[in-house]
Amino acid sequence: MDADELIALVGRGDQKAFEALYDQVSRPVFGLVLQVVRDASQAEEVAQEVLLDVWRLAPRFDPGRGSAMSWVLTLAHRRAVDRVRSARAAGEREQRDAERAAAPAFDQVAEAVEAGLERDWVRRCLDALTPVQRQSVTLAYYDGFTYREVAHRLDLPLGTVKTRMRDGLTRLRKCLGGAA
């Protein structure tokens, strides 16, 4: 029996006819699907889905619109294209999600910009100090030395370093608008 006769019987629920139709169309279906999806395991899955569709949709087959083989291969092609589109869309979604995850959040960008502006502001205010004030403040606050260690490094009396620090911090506070 040819595929057109078999599909009519399959449409009436004949399992033996489906087995015979399966034997005729399974290889062409797999081959077509494999050409579209280009992955053997995916092609097997899609071919199986197509053959289930053939069993389920056989009552809808209209011989006036074409041959049974054309109808089955059309189902196979559509299903394969759907699988490729679905996989591509999933890949694009994953790519977008990865890009979103890698891109810093707006708050992080804003914070980084703000921190950079604050650093520039502090540098300008440090530049406004006298060289001896700037040296004392830098050693204490940026290099982490105690006032006693700053005095030792600069070979100055501790009282002189404390005065320079107090005057330098007062000028910084004024420059920074009372924020320091």
CB within 8 Å of 48: residues ≥ 6 apart = none
Q: What is the tens place of the pLDDT at every residue in 101-150?
A: 776 666 666 677 677 778 788 888 888 889 988 888 888 888 888 999 99
pLDDT of residue 118: 81
Q: What is the tens place of the pLDDT at every residue in 58-78?
A: 999 999 999 999 999 999 999
- Residues 114 and 102 sit within 8 Å (Cβ to Cβ): no
- Residues 42 and 88 sit within 8 Å (Cβ to Cβ): no
Say how far apart CA 160 and CA 175 lie, in whole Å.
22
